Amino acid sequence: MNTPRTVRGRLLLTLKLGEMPEHVPGWRACTHHGAEMAERIDGGVIDRLLRHHGGALRAVRLHSARQPRSARAVPGAYRFDEVEQISGVARVLRVQVRDPAGMPALLQALAELPMVERVTANHLSHAPFADAPGTVADLRTLDHTWVRQCARIDEALRYEGGDPAVVLGLADTGVSLTHVELASRLRAGFDSVDLDPETVGGVTLVGDYRRAGERPQDEVGHGSGCAGIMAALGKGMPPGAAGACGLTPVRVLGAALGPGDKRVGVGALDNIDAGMKRLIDLGVKVINMSFGTPESMLDADAPRPHEEVVRYALARGVILVAASGNSGLSERYFPAALPGVIAVGAIERGLGPASFSTRGGHVALCAPGRDIRTCGISGYQLASGTSFAAPHVAAVCALLASRAQRRAQPLDSVEARDILIASARPFAVAGVTGCGAGVLDALAALRRLDADIDHRLREEDRPADEPDALAVA
């Protein structure tokens, strides 16, 4: 599942500010309300290049505006607010051409146009990134207490139980909607998967992959595993590390058959970004992203995946957490390597980095990621991978956001990352590089947040002519 693949004949085109044409409809308007896709964009050079290199074209705006038409009765292309415009999400077009053979030349030609900000092929992203095998162990008898103890999750939950108004977003393969651990814990989610087997050659899609809708049912088990770590009731596994915080799932990855016919998650960048944008607009505070695209899959001068939607999330104050990858190498996966994202590696029982954990200077810290007891599609599973380390950190970020909100203080992704790094405990082995600052310590992170807020409040009350105590020290 790691060989380079794209959605054939489909590209993502971001126009510069002021260049988005009014007449191009939104993707949801076409898929949900019967609007016709546009067969022209600018009536000029963009259309000529698209037809010359790719034959006929069909185009839609990828994202919907945050404000509905009832709130601002203007054409969709002009309903986007300033944050949507500046971040770029308002200016992304999803373009399908008839003949994919000319795609390399088309991408190069479009990138040279002055009205084009960026253009990229529509890559496929995967979860898990690669095999991250667990030990041969009995799900019923394996001791899982080390996971909670090393990260001090139970102590953290006694210190801060979480606020139901703080909502986690899960962008993944969906969740098991009727699972005994999850059914009563979930907010209404949705499904943005829209794949065509004819355009993803070499990938065998299974289940529901064509009908984006409002039911994020998991057909892989990956998303359910992440959800259990964050939000389980605790009936047959440890309770979710996010305490009382809410959880909104979005299915951005469909199901495909991997080696040995094991189901894996696969999703197109446009499906993922569209799901992320809507999730942000629903008001989630933290998003867990346990998927990725390796840098080696991209051309050297190609735009990095998810840049616009990550900028948009950060501008809205959303805390972003991503799994670093399971290659065991020093390399970059996206979105984990994008600025502002908290990249998470995995440790195992001995509190050293797992052999599969992808390394790099962008990794912030590590969390438990081998043989984690969590939810499956039905029942429970032992899950291994950075995919299952990241939800531990996302859950603690939700507790941090709850604590900050309880104290009427703001908290963004950069601040949360700094707190997690400053409060991490050392690895149990010496000489670790590329795995971040150490091991997640949930209780220490909450205490660090309180200390930072206390200092901030003291500074606000300090007379202008009195020196900063920390600076003097």
DSSP letters for 292-359: BEEGGGS-TTSPPTTHHHHHHHHHTT-EEEEE--SSSSB--EETTTSTTEEEEEEE-TTSSB-TT--B
The pLDDT value recorded for residue 445 is 98
For the stretch 56-65, pLDDT in tens is: 899 999 999 9
Nearest to 255 by CA among 212, 294, 209, 299: 209
Q: Contact, 237 vs 228, CB < 8 A?
A: yes
For the stretch 215-232, pLDDT in tens is: 999 999 999 999 999 999
Q: Measuring CA to CA, how many Å separate 389 from each of 133, 244, 384, 386?
A: 14, 20, 8, 5
Q: Contact, 157 vs 236, CB < 8 A?
A: no
Q: Contact, 370 vs 341, CB < 8 A?
A: no
Give the separation between CA 438 and CA 445, rounded to whole angstroms. Answer: 13
Residues in the chain: 473
Q: Contact, 395 vs 169, CB < 8 A?
A: no
* Under-50 pLDDT residues of the chain: 1-4, 136
Two structure tokens written together for 188: 């209404």
Nearest to 336 by CA among 271, 287, 275: 287
Instruction: Tell the burial category of 82 from Cβ atoms under 10 Å away from its Cβ (0-12, 13-18, 19+).
Output: exposed
Ramachandran bin of 268, using left for φ above 0, alpha for ψ from -120 to 50, beta for the remaining angles:
beta
The pLDDT value recorded for residue 136 is 47
